[in-house]
Amino acid sequence: MTDSNGAIAELPGERASVKSAAYEKFRQALFDGRLRPGQFVSQRELVALLGLSIGALRELLPRLELEGLLRVMPQRGIQITQIDLPMIRQAFQMRMALEREAVLTAVRKLSNAALDEQEALHRAILEEVKSNPGPDVFERGQEVDDGFHQLLIATTQNDLLGQAYAVNAIRIRLIKLDRVTLSAAVLPAAFADHLAVIAAIRSRDAHAAMDAMDKHMMNARERALEL
C-alpha cells in the first residue's frame, strides 16, 4: 500500500507493532543499565542507543513522558526519571492499590492448582538459596517474584488494570535495580511474604489476603526507602 506521495504506507497493525517494539527497546535499555535514572540524553543519543529512527523516537516520547518514565526539558535534553523518595512512595502506593484488587479477585478465582504451583516454585528457590546461593538463583528468584505478581494481576482479566500495572512495574523494577535487589538477605523475607499471601488466598479469606499483601508491599517499600 502507498500513501498520496507514492511512498509505502504502514498498515495500522504494522504501525502499532513498530511502536511496541520501540517501547520495548526503551524498557530493556532501562533494565540493563544503558539508561540510568536521572541521566540526561539528547534525542540523537537515544536514537543511536535504541536503534530507532528519529521519527519513531519522536512518536515514542509523548507516551514515555505521559507514563512518567522521562521528562523532555527544553534546552537541556531528555531526563530519565529519577529515583527519589516521592517517586518510591508513589510507586508503591500505586502498586498496593492495584494488587489489593488483584488479591481480592484471586481469593475468588485463582485455583488451588495454580497456588500449589506458585508455592512449589517459591520453596524450590528458598531451598537453593540455603544450599547454593549463586547469582543465577537470584535471577530465577526474580523471575518467580515477578511471575507471582503478574499472575495475580492477570487473574483480574482487566485490561486497564493490567496496563496501569505494567507501567508501574517498570518504576518498581528501576527502584529495585537502584536500591535493593534480591539477595541472600532479602529474598527469604520477600518470599515468606509471598507464601503468606498464597496461604491466605488458599483459605479464601479476603481480609487475610489483603492484610498479607499490604504487609508485603509495606515491607518492600521500607527496604527501598531505608537505603
Predicted local distance difference test score (pLDDT) of residue 76: 86
pLDDT per position in the chain (227 positions), as tens? Answer: 444 444 444 445 566 777 889 999 999 999 998 999 999 999 999 999 999 999 999 999 999 999 989 999 988 899 999 999 999 999 999 999 999 999 999 999 999 999 999 999 999 999 999 988 888 999 999 999 999 999 999 999 999 999 999 999 999 989 888 877 778 888 999 999 999 999 999 999 999 999 999 999 999 999 888 75
Predicted local distance difference test score (pLDDT) of residue 52: 92
Are 122 and 195 in contact, with CB atoms under 8 Å apart? yes
Predicted local distance difference test score (pLDDT) of residue 1: 45
The total of other beta-carbon atoms located within 10 Å of residue 209's CB is 25
Predicted local distance difference test score (pLDDT) of residue 167: 93
3-state secondary structure the chain: CECCCCCECCCHHHHHHHHHHHHHHHHHHHHCCCCCCCCEECHHHHHHHHCCCHHHHHHHHHHHHHCCCEEEECCCEEEECCCCHHHHHHHHHHHHHHHHHHHHHHHHHCCHHHHHHHHHHHHHHHHHHHHCCCHHHHHHHHHHHHHHHHHHHHHCCCHHHHHHHHHHHHHHHHHHHHCCCCCCCCHHHHHHHHHHHHHHHHCCCHHHHHHHHHHHHHHHHHHHHCC
Predicted local distance difference test score (pLDDT) of residue 225: 86
Q: Which domains does the chain have, with CATH numbers?
A: 12-80 (1.10.10.10), 85-225 (1.20.120.530)
Q: Classify the C-alpha dihedral 143-22-162-36 as positive or negative.
A: positive
Distance of CA 213 to the CA centre of its chain: 17
Rg (CA), the chain: 20
Q: Classify the C-alpha dihedral 87-90-91-92 as positive or negative.
A: positive
Distance CA 71, CA 74 (A): 10
Distance CA 85, CA 197 (A): 27
